[in-house]
Amino acid sequence: MSVDAARLPEAGRWRSLFDFYVTTMRTAVAAQLQYRVAQYFYMIGMVAEPVVYLVVWTTIAEEQGGAVNGITVGEFAAYYIVWTLVRNMNIVFGAPFWEFRIREGRLAGDLLKPMTMLHYDLAYFAGWKFVVVAMWIPIAIGLSAVFHPTLDPTALQIGVFICAIWGAYLIRTMFQGIVGMLNFWTTRGAAVFDLYMATEMLLSGRLVPLQLMPGWVQTLADFLPFKWTFGYPIESLVGDMSTRSLLLGLVAQLLWIGIGLAGYRLAWKFAIKRFTAVGG
Amino acid sequence: MSEPVVHVSELTKIFKVPEREAGLGAAAKALVRRKTRDVHAVEEVSFEIAGGEVVGFLGPNGAGKTTTLKMLAGLLYPTDGEARVLGHIPSRRERDYLRRMTMVMGNRNQLQWDIPALDSFELNRAIYRLRREDFLSMRDELIELLDVGDLVRKPVRNLSLGERMKVEIVGALLHRPQVLFLDEPTIGLDVTMQKRIRTFVAEYNRRHGATVLLTSHYMADVEALCKRVIVIHHGRILYDGGLAALADEFAAYKTIGVVLENGGAPLDSYGEVVEVDGDRVSLRVPKAETSRVAARLLADHEVLDLTIEEPPIEDVIESVFAQPAG
Amino acid sequence: MNAVRVGWLYLKIGVLNELQYRVNFFVQLLQSLIQIGTGLVMLSLVYSHTDELHGWKQPELLSLLGVQVLLGGVIHAFIQPNMERLMQDVQEGTLDYALTKPADSQVLVSVRTVRIWQVVEIVSGFILLFVGLAGVDKSVGFVDAIAFGCALVIGAVLVYCFWLIMTTGAFWIVRMEHVLELFEGIYRTGQWPIGVYPGWLRYSVTFLVPVAFAVTVPAQAVTSRLQWQTLLISFVFGCVLFVVARWFWRFGLRHYAGASA
């Protein structure tokens, strides 16, 4: 039989990409719903971090007459509760997952498929987010009942926020992916990852609202991608940003997505070269 | 004559393996200057495979068969030499190529673990950009051939090892690939399941004319499926041809089974006595001497029964592999 | 006493094993530095906006951080590895190996494993503690030091008992490992004096997950604000929890032995 026999025709390019995203997201939801219990525990553990920060800053604020640097107790509560949503949206196919993928030998199987890995990771985690957000809602309600946040966003703010959390998701996928790909060259990728996380914690608004950081830190944060994955989305919803700065923020996110994507593709090219050279 | 489906020429793969002695001093030195050793996994291998052939790769662990297969699948970049499959260069990993081939590795799961296999098939449909009608007809055909109708609705993690292998195969063939790389597909499975999968591969090859490259430790796989075998040892091809002719080329001896009228006579002078089973004596005799020894036996004794047998393929292969490198 | 000898033997083997992986030392050093660095940044941020947090001055809070890191090191080096291994044994049914050895089972499962490089964490905790104390006005008296030592030991015992009780729960509830993953998160609450937490949280981290007792009480001792009643309660609580943990462990073992097929 000739080599061209039984060759199946392809469906249209863009339609199949859309179809691929929808199918993958649906698969992710079905698979992740099976791990509800584990996810809930993880989320509760994650909530401990912002609760501690919130309590500390609330104490300081109360001892200082109600506010720190103009941020009231209610605003702190709002900041850290929205923090929990942004934190959940931030979980991407990052360094630990890359390490797992390489170590467990799943990479070979994934590489045999005619689909860019990035699409697969983005689609799968995006689908997962829907499960995550649904589970987060009761936790948010509980936290709000205990800590009484002051939150009164406009429609524009809500719209920008929704765009911003997905922007944060994309930026973080790119940058964490680059760090994760270090695992192709070293088994100690976790150490670099820790360093990255520590930097992110300080410069992103995860530890404290960036307003409370010394001036030079705030300037530095403006030129790095971290702020746009954490602080900016939170501030867009709970803060007092002008329309101009809200929209400029989205532009900044687009810029960082572009830089991240370029870096990711470069890293991936080298990673594939490395993998196919040494096997796995 | 049409182009061969697989064309391999002087294909070579050399791995650099870090080498370090024990001890703190060596560890410190290793941080600064890494010493590596070259492992020649595949050494100037050449062969061609035509469409529709089912070829078995035989060789002990570390011989280079999986490495060769991985280079043809695009998972490994060759150090030297050329490989073409379906006209594509595998290491380029072109989407077009990936859609026309598949690789199934024994003991590895590519389907989603927690959801029914049917849902994983949907995912593969989207990944391979299949048209719905093509997907459905192929899927149903495969499910029927492998008889997994009641298994595909269960989450994959609930299936036994053999059942998992069957649904993995369905998932791997949904896009009707023209080249199949099967790396130890029956490893760890029970005998019935092995037979099932062999039958399936033969049937798939018959129906769709796919080219199959198969590696296996089980001679039964190779004997059942492959008319042609390529024997690889220490990265080199030792033999490339028909399975039946393999024994001819490599067997250094044949086995003469003889039953004598007056059993019990010592037969050491004729050859190496391998087995005595009641009245039947098995003699191992160098190939060139077979007819002469047989003639002597017939002349010297009252022979009730005499057979001349090829050594079993396993033994041949074993003796082939026992040869040192070089 | 046999338990001590067994413990010592396992410690020696565990250390020798781990010493092979010298890279781990540097990795651990890096991780400890990052952890302390972040803690210090948070501390200086807080004190750039205030002079006193709930009555604690900066050097005092530094000492508290030191105690938290120090105790954290003890947990990560000696307690957590054993409990995680125990959990794994229960889930995979390999506990029998530990049970057929001629030593008290609780001692055995508690000392089998050690992550020796976490000692770096213990050392850094001590360093922080001393640096903090250097900045405190009142110097540490002899009584305070003794109280500190006792409180620290009681704290370690409390955490150990907590872990043991939770892990023993794995005999019945397979999902126990998720509960224990929460520990790291909840342990963060030990970075700050428990007085800052709202009532419900304070009680939770005192009695439910005894992180507060474990960290705050020694820190209170060393900054001369410990009341003897607190130490007494801590001591009683420790004894009670130890008895409960041991009883629960033997109860769980009997259930395990009876249930295994």
pLDDT in tens, A57-71: 998 998 888 888 888
Letter for the amino acid at C186?
I
Query: Hey, what are A5's tokens?
Result: 């026999």
Residue B127 touches chain A, beta carbons under 8 Å: yes
Is the pLDDT assigned to residue C88 strictly greater than 80?
yes
Residue A108 touches chain B, beta carbons under 8 Å: yes
The pLDDT of residue B25: 58
- When CB atoms are compared, the residue of C30, C49, C184 closest to A69 is C49
Neighbours of C24 (CB within 10 A): 17
Spatial distance between the Cα atoms of B119 and B99, rounded to a whole number of angstroms: 20
Are B108 and A7 inside 8 Å of each other by CB? Answer: no
Residue C199 touches chain A, beta carbons under 8 Å: no
**By CA distance, what is A54's nearest residue in C?**
C197
What pTM was estimated for this model as a whole?
0.83
Residue A208 touches chain C, beta carbons under 8 Å: yes
The pLDDT of residue A1: 33
Task: Give the confidence band of A5 by pLDDT, cuts at 50, 70, 90.
Answer: very low
Q: How far is B44 from chain A (nearest CA, A)?
A: 17
Write out the DSSP string of chain C: -HHHHHHHHHHHHHHHHHHT-HHHHHHHHHHHHHHHHHHHHHHHHHHHH-S-BTTB-HHHHHHHHHHHHHHHHHIIIIIHHHHHHHHHHHHHTTTHHHHTSSS-HHHHHHHS---GGGHHHHHHHHHHHHHHHHH-SSPPPHHHHHHHHHHHHHHHHHHHHHHHHHHHGGGT-TTHHHHHHHHHHHHGGGGS-GGGS-HHHHHIIIIISTHHHHHHHHHHHHTT---HHHHHHHHHHHHHHHHHHHHHHHHHHHHHHHH--
Q: Which of B234, B194, B40, B43 is nearest to B106 (CA)?
A: B194
Query: Hey, what are C139's tokens?
Result: 């110097």
What b-and-e string marks burial along C53-90, b requiring 16 or more CB atoms within 10 Å of the CB?
bbebbbbbbbbbbbbbbbbbbbbbbbbbbbbebbbebb
Query: Which phi-psi region, left, alpha or beta, contains residue B135 (left: φ > 0; alpha: ψ -120 to 50)?
Result: alpha
Is the pLDDT assigned to residue C18 strictly greater than 70?
yes
Task: Give the confidence band of C53 by pLDDT, cuts at 50, 70, 90.
Answer: confident
Spatial distance between the Cα atoms of A91 and B271, rounded to a whole number of angstroms: 74
The complex scores an ipTM of 0.84
Average pLDDT score over residue span A32-47? 88
Is the pLDDT assigned to residue A230 strictly greater than 80?
yes
Length of chain B measured in residues? 326
On whether the CB atoms of residues C120 and C25 are closer than 8 A, the answer is yes
Is the pLDDT assigned to residue A84 strictly greater than 80?
yes
Average pLDDT score over residue span B262-277? 78
Average pLDDT score over residue span B28-50? 80
The pLDDT of residue B324: 61
The pLDDT of residue A13: 78
Q: Name residue B237's beta-bridge partners.
A: B232
Phi, psi of B54 (to 5 degrees): -115, 110
Task: Give the confidence band of C9 by pLDDT, cuts at 50, 70, 90.
Answer: confident
Outline where chain A has alpha helix (H). Answer: 13-32, 36-63, 73-89, 95-103, 106-111, 117-147, 155-181, 189-203, 215-222, 226-229, 231-238, 243-278
Query: Hey, what are C10's tokens?
Result: 């396992």
Spatial distance between the Cα atoms of B251 and B271, rounded to a whole number of angstroms: 16
Spatial distance between the Cα atoms of A253 and A255, rounded to a whole number of angstroms: 5
The pLDDT of residue A6: 42
On whether the CB atoms of residues B281 and B275 are closer than 8 A, the answer is yes
The chain-wide mean pLDDT, for chain C, equals: 85
User: Burial level of B1, CB count in 10 A (0-12/13-18/19+)?
Assistant: exposed
Largest separation between any pair of C-alpha atoms in chain B: 77
Q: Where are the domains of chain B?
A: 6-247, 252-309
Class of the domain covering B6-247: alpha beta
Query: Hey, what are A21's tokens?
Result: 């995203």
Q: Name residue B232's beta-bridge partners.
A: B237
- Least confident interval from B202-206, C134-138, C217-221: C134-138
**Which C residues in the span 36-75 are in contact with A, Cβ-Cβ below 8 Å?**
37-38, 41-42, 45-46, 48-50, 52-54
Average pLDDT score over residue span B98-104? 93
Are A212 and C181 inside 8 Å of each other by CB? Answer: no
The strand pair at B228-233 and B236-242 is best described as antiparallel
The pLDDT of residue A2: 34
Is the pLDDT assigned to residue C165 strictly greater than 70?
yes
Spatial distance between the Cα atoms of C131 and C115, rounded to a whole number of angstroms: 26
**By CA distance, what is C37's nearest residue in A?**
A198
Query: Hey, what are A155's tokens?
Result: 């429609």
The strand pair at B253-260 and B280-286 is best described as antiparallel
User: Which residue in this structure is represented by tokens 């291994």?
Assistant: C85
Query: Hey, what are C144's tokens?
Result: 């305070």
Residue A45 touches chain C, beta carbons under 8 Å: yes
Q: What is the DSSP letter of B91?
A: G
User: Which residue in this structure is represented by tokens 């963060």?
Assistant: C188
- List Cβ neighbours of A226 (8 Å cut-off, separation of 6 or more): A199, A200, A203, A204, A205
pLDDT in tens, B154-171: 999 899 988 999 999 999
Task: Give the confidence band of C172 by pLDDT, cuts at 50, 70, 90.
Answer: confident
What b-and-e string marks burial along B273-303, b requiring 16 or more CB atoms within 10 Å of the CB?
eeeeeeeebbbebeeeebeebbeebeeebee
Spatial distance between the Cα atoms of A269 and A262, rounded to a whole number of angstroms: 11
pLDDT in tens, B125-141: 999 989 899 999 999 99
pLDDT in tens, A140-155: 999 999 999 988 899 9
Is the pLDDT assigned to residue C102 strictly greater than 90?
no
The pLDDT of residue B21: 60
The chain-wide mean pLDDT, for chain B, equals: 86
Selected residue with higher pLDDT from B263 and B151: B151
Neighbours of B146 (CB within 10 A): 23
